[in-house]
Structure 1
Amino acid sequence: MSEHRPTAGQRSFGVAAAALTLYGIFLRPRVLRWGATDEEAGHSYPGDELIPDPDGSSTMATTLPVPPEGVWPWLQQMGCNRGGWYSWDRLDNGGHPSAERIVPQWQRLEQGQHLDSVPSGEVWFTVAVLELGRTLVLRSQTTLPSGRPFDRLDEPPPRAYADSIWGFHLRPAPGGRTRLVVRARGRSRPRPLTRPMDLLFWEPAHLIMQARQFHNLRTRVSTTA
């Protein structure tokens, strides 16, 4: 009786399955709550209600060495063709450096305003929740796979879409500092196709970009304090 040996393809599949299992158990919880405390991760924030039944959610946080009024102007001028996103500019700002100073003409912000997410202006975030000096929630609604925006809330979403929020919440911290908590929530369809992309690409990518933004914001507010 011959011994059955797994093929190379079966071994590769087994290794991949084991790696995904370990990632889901040990690493993914840390990815989804980078820098956040238990209380911050469990807290509800303005804008959460826009995605009431999310397919995925993350809460990331950092402490900045200035009070909220020193952080808010940097958030208020975010956006392509404005101050940028303070992250990896070659990836999310068309290669243009994000602003290193406060620019007065970019300090006007209002609910419903579109903030370009790409330099062409063909894709954007909508200012969904705005509490001056405290909360800024951006919403992105795109048709898949084209990436074209849709924001007609009075109509059903397309059959394939992604709907997400990116919320920035400023809270005073001891010593004249600020706790910046960033809450992301999303829902997408068709789920059998979008879930693998969330796990393998979007969640790690969000961590990389968000951690970079935290670092660059800390550098900017420290310089201008």
Structure 2
Amino acid sequence: MRRALLWALPVAATGAAWRAGRRLGATAAEARLPLPGDGLLPTAQIHNDRAATIPAAPDQVWPWIAQLGQDKAGFYSFESLENLAGCRIVGATRIHPEWQDVTVGDPFRLHPDVALRVAIVDPGRALVVTSQGGDAPGDLDFATTWAFVLSPTRRPDGQIATRLQLRERYQTRGPAARLMIEFTALVSAAMTWRMLVRLKTLVVSAPR
């Protein structure tokens, strides 16, 4: 009995961490909310929602989102880990005017050899990228979208803040691909957590 309990505890803890990572910082209502880009994969089986409140207006947060990408500002995450995977990212610590012009159809690089495609651009409101029409070596067993959605909210002092919600959606074509994506949910959550924390720091410390 004791041995079974010792095995069950880490399994239960891992399951709890996995469930928490799928909705890191996002409320249940936010996870149910329709967002831009959902229609690109209407039958997606996997959804990850993460969110944070940034104490600045959406127009002050948007420039940091607009310049996301491996060949631009990076992803404000754990660059040392990303570069171990060969991403060759040099993260930005300021807004770059030359990276602000984002248009539908642009490549959105994750790695020198892997690019998604910009599908939706609504400045100050939403950026959505998709694997559909993207560029990756070999054949992927899944399709994905990644949405960055900014919504104005109010801080306790009455000032405008930004609720930033990130949504990953996956449509898999086989059990192996689905299992892989499910198992990488914790890694995705950790990288996204770092992104949100770093973004908050960068936005707050940036000159107005």
TM over 0.5: yes
**Counterparts in 2 of 1:204-215, with a 5 A limit?**
204-215=186-197
**Counterparts in 2 of 1:151-190, with a 5 A limit?**
161-174=141-154, 175-190=159-174
**Matching residue's letter, 1:40:** E
RMSD after superposition = 2.6
Match of 2:96 in 1: 103
Which segments of 5 or more consecutive residues in structure 2 lack a partner in the other structure?
none
**Counterparts in 2 of 1:124-135, with a 5 A limit?**
124-135=115-126
Q: 1:22 to 1:141 in 2, by over 3 A?
A: farther
Q: How many residues align?
A: 197
Provide, for residues 18-41 of structure 1, a one-character-per-residue CA deviation record: whole Å limited to 9, x for no partner. Answer: 7556644x3333111111112211
Which segments of 5 or more consecutive residues in structure 1 lack a partner in the other structure?
1-10, 150-157
Q: Structure 2 CA distance, aligned partners of 1:142 and 1:198?
A: 20
Match of 1:216 among 195, 198, 201: 198
Q: Structure 1 CA distance, aligned partners of 2:66 and 2:187?
A: 23
Aligned: 1:28 with 2:12: no
Q: Structure 2 CA distance, aligned partners of 1:22 and 1:70?
A: 38
Q: Structure 2 CA distance, aligned partners of 1:79 and 1:55?
A: 26
C-alpha contact 2:116 2:133 (8 A) present in aligned 1: no
Following TM superposition, by how much is the alpha carbon of 1:189 offset from its aligned partner in structure 2, in angstroms? 2.5
TM superposition outliers: structure 1 runs of 4+ over 2 Å: 17-24, 26-29, 90-97, 140-143
Match of 2:68 among 78, 81, 86: 78
C-alpha contact 2:152 2:160 (8 A) present in aligned 1: yes
Q: Structure 2 CA distance, aligned partners of 1:18 and 1:176?
A: 43
Q: Structure 2 CA distance, aligned partners of 1:205 and 1:117?
A: 15
* 209-218 vs 94-103, greater mean Cα deviation: 94-103
C-alpha contact 1:85 1:92 (8 A) present in aligned 2: no
Match of 1:112 in 2: 105
Identity of aligned residues (%): 32
Q: 1:52 to 1:213 in 2, by over 3 A?
A: same
Aligned: 1:194 with 2:177: yes
**Matching residue's letter, 2:23:** R
Q: Structure 2 CA distance, aligned partners of 1:206 and 1:142?
A: 22
**Matching residue's letter, 1:109:** V
Say which one has the larger Rg.
1
Q: Structure 2 CA distance, aligned partners of 1:210 and 1:39?
A: 20
Provide, for residues 145-166 of structure 1, a one-character-per-residue CA deviation record: whole Å limited to 9, x for no partner. Answer: xx527xxxxxxxx5x5221111
SS of equivalent to 1:117: strand
- TM-score normalised to the size of structure 2? 0.85
**Matching residue's letter, 2:198:** N
